[in-house]
């Protein structure tokens, strides 16, 4: 951590190494507890992942001595055991498990599939604490904020729970409240996960391509969004604005006067969850039409807007009496820039038309595959994973599965993990599952294909490219005076004072050289620390 950060936090600089030492000891102790919990749920099979050093395996074996796996889990699959272990380790590990559910390249297809069922459901916290949180956040007695407030929550998860209420204007609303102490719990767990990711990158060189610290950074960003309910309200507002006037998709309105960092109030919506097929059919809804609408809405979010709901489990999608799809819970949202959207659209069309040379060319153009690799070899690999999937009956084709396998083979071509695409793949996987439940004979991606092709034709037309070039040139012209001014100041400074580097920059350069490759004794020291923390 940079020295100025320590100073801003109120720590004397001489205490920084001591702070780091205590952080290491605390994390070693916590790792020992994690290993024993994983042992209890018979989930230490993760140590068999290729590249894990022997001394780490030995250390975990030593820590786990005396721990007997729960006999009730004997008939469960590995992924189901791992899901239970992560659920018992805490909210940060639940989020990690959900992130791993799209990393078949790390944990294998079967385990990744089992992790998609990881439930984020916990017992509710006390109603008195919920009421107190609302009053503390909004600065008024509850009776002045709501006419009525239901004591029983309608949903409770690791981060928050939701209650129904009515406002002073007698409008029905849903009130989301963060769990007491959840911020500090996540801070501890994410600090531990980041520390472990750094160790993995230093001790297991093959893991660097998978960017474990980048994955934890992305996870931290997602959690930070979820822990500030004002940001969730803003995301809901943006999604609502994107679909303003759309008669077939609805986003509830946010009540900003009753929303703060730890409390979110929104319009209450009601409907049937999209996975309750018999109920939908009983009230007269056409499930094939609902799947077609889902495909349309998904396309518009991803390709038109580059802003999509990334937590599309059935509980977050309700169908009202008019057949309108209503989305709730905007804590996890994804963004894609224009270049990524073009890449994704062309890649999907390339796969669906079996144009594997095009798929390879797009990967190289996007910079995802180094130029030193062979385009023909990558096209061959793309064909090898796509043909078995695209050769299935149309209703069974899974683009999310295809993407997952694509990420698995990219290791040979030195493609780095793309976190924004992993989040999209996870969302696609859930959407596919919901679509197949609703209407097994319909493939939602084939329904979306003409929309994608039309969008690409418009977006990549000469007129659109010219307009985009003009916009980019306008931005550059606007910035030009400032760039010239900054350049003049920089030249003057260099002329007068010469080239100087900030002390923090020099320190970081020094550290990067030292940490480029950890010596064997560093791994041994960590192993010993783990052993002693378990005693």
Specify burial of residue 467 (Cβ count, 10 A radius: 0-12, 13-18, 19+).
exposed
**DSSP structural state of residue 431:** H
**DSSP structural state of residue 388:** H
Measured distance CA(209)–CA(220) in Å, rounded: 20
Best CA proximity match to 249, nearest among 239, 237, 261, 264: 239
| 3-class SS string, 170-204 | CCEEEEEEECCCHHHHHHHHHHHHHHHHHHHHHHC
**Encoded tokens for 507:** 């320190």
**Residue 517 CB neighbours (<10 A):** 10
End-to-end, the C-alpha distance of the chain in Å comes to 30
Q: Does residue 311 carry a catalytic annotation?
A: yes
Say if strands 172-178 and 317-319 run parallel, antiparallel, or are unpaired: unpaired
42, 255, 311, 329: the active-site residue: 311
Q: Is 345 helix (H, G, I), strand (E, B) or coil?
A: helix
Q: Which residues partner with 266 through β-bridges?
A: 174, 254
Measured distance CA(302)–CA(311) in Å, rounded: 13
> What DSSP letter does each residue of 265-331 carry, written as one string?
EEE----EETT-HHHHHHTT--HHHHHHHHHHHHHIIIIIISEEES---GGGEEE-TTS-EEE---S
**Encoded tokens for 488:** 């003049």
Residue 423 near residue 431 (C-beta atoms within 8 A): no
Measured distance CA(280)–CA(284) in Å, rounded: 6
Measured distance CA(318)–CA(249) in Å, rounded: 10
Best CA proximity match to 516, nearest among 201, 214, 213, 206: 201
- What are the b/e assignments for 279-307, b being 16+ CB within 10 Å? ebeeeebebeebbbbbbbbbbbbbbebeb
Measure CA 255 to chain center: 26
**DSSP structural state of residue 119:** -
> Which residues are marked as active site?
311
């Amino acid at each position: 951590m940079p020295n100025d950060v320590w100073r801003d936090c109120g720590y004397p600089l001489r205490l920084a190494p001591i702070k780091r030492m205590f952080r290491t000891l605390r994390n070693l102790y916590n790792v020992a507890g994690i290993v024993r919990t994983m042992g209890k749920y018979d989930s230490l099979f993760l140590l068999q992942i290729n590249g894990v050093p022997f001394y780490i395996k030995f250390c975990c074996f030593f820590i786990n001595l005396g721990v007997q796996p729960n006999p009730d889990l004997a008939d469960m699959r590995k992924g189901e055991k791992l899901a239970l272990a992560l659920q018992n380790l805490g909210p940060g590990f639940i989020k990690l498990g959900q992130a791993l559910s799209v990393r078949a390249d790390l944990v294998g297809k079967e385990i990744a599939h089992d992790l998609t069922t990881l439930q984020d459901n916990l017992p509710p916290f006390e109603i008195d604490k919920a009421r107190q949180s609302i009053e503390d956040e909004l600065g008024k007695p509850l009776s002045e904020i709501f006419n009525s407030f239901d004591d029983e929550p309608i949903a409770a998860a690791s981060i928050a729970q939701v209650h129904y209420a009515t406002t002073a204007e007698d409008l029905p609303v849903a009130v989301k409240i963060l769990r007491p102490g959840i911020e500090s719990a996540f801070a501890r767990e994410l600090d531990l996960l980041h520390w472990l990711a750094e160790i993995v990158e230093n001790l297991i060189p093959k893991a660097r391509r998978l960017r474990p610290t980048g994955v934890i950074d992305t996870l931290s960003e997602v959690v930070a969004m979820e822990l500030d309910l004002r940001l969730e309200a803003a995301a809901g507002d943006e999604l609502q604005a994107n679909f303003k006037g759309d008669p077939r998709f609805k986003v509830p309105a946010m009540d900003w006067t009753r929303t703060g960092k730890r409390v979110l109030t929104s319009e209450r919506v009601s409907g049937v969850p999209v996975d309750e097929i018999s109920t939908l059919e009983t009230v007269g809804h056409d499930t094939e039409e609902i799947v077609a609408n889902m495909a349309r809405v998904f396309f518009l979010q991803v390709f038109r807007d580059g802003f999509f709901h990334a937590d599309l489990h059935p509980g977050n999608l309700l169908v009202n009496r008019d057949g309108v799809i209503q989305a709730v819970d905007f804590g996890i949202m994804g963004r894609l820039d224009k270049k990524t959207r073009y890449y994704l659209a062309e890649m999907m069309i390339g796969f669906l038309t079996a144009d594997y040379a095009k798929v390879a060319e797009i990967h190289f153009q996007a910079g995802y595959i180094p130029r030193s690799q062979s385009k023909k070899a990558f096209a061959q690999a793309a064909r090898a994973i796509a043909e078995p999937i695209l050769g299935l009956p149309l209703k069974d084709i899974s683009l999310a599965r295809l993407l997952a396998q694509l990420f698995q083979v990219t290791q040979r071509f030195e493609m780095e993990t793309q976190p924004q695409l992993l989040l999209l793949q996870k969302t696609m996987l859930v959407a596919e599952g919901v679509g197949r439940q609703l209407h097994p004979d319909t493939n939602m991606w084939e329904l979306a294909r003409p929309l994608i092709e039309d969008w690409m034709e418009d977006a990549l037309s000469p007129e659109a490219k010219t307009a985009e070039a003009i916009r980019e040139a306008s931005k550059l012209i606007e910035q030009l005076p400032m760039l010239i001014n900054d350049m003049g100041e920089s030249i003057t400074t260099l002329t007068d004072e010469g080239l100087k580097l900030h002390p923090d920059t020099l320190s970081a350069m020094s550290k990067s050289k030292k940490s480029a490759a950890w010596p064997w004794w560093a791994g041994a020291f960590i192993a010993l620390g783990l052993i002693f923390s378990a005693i």
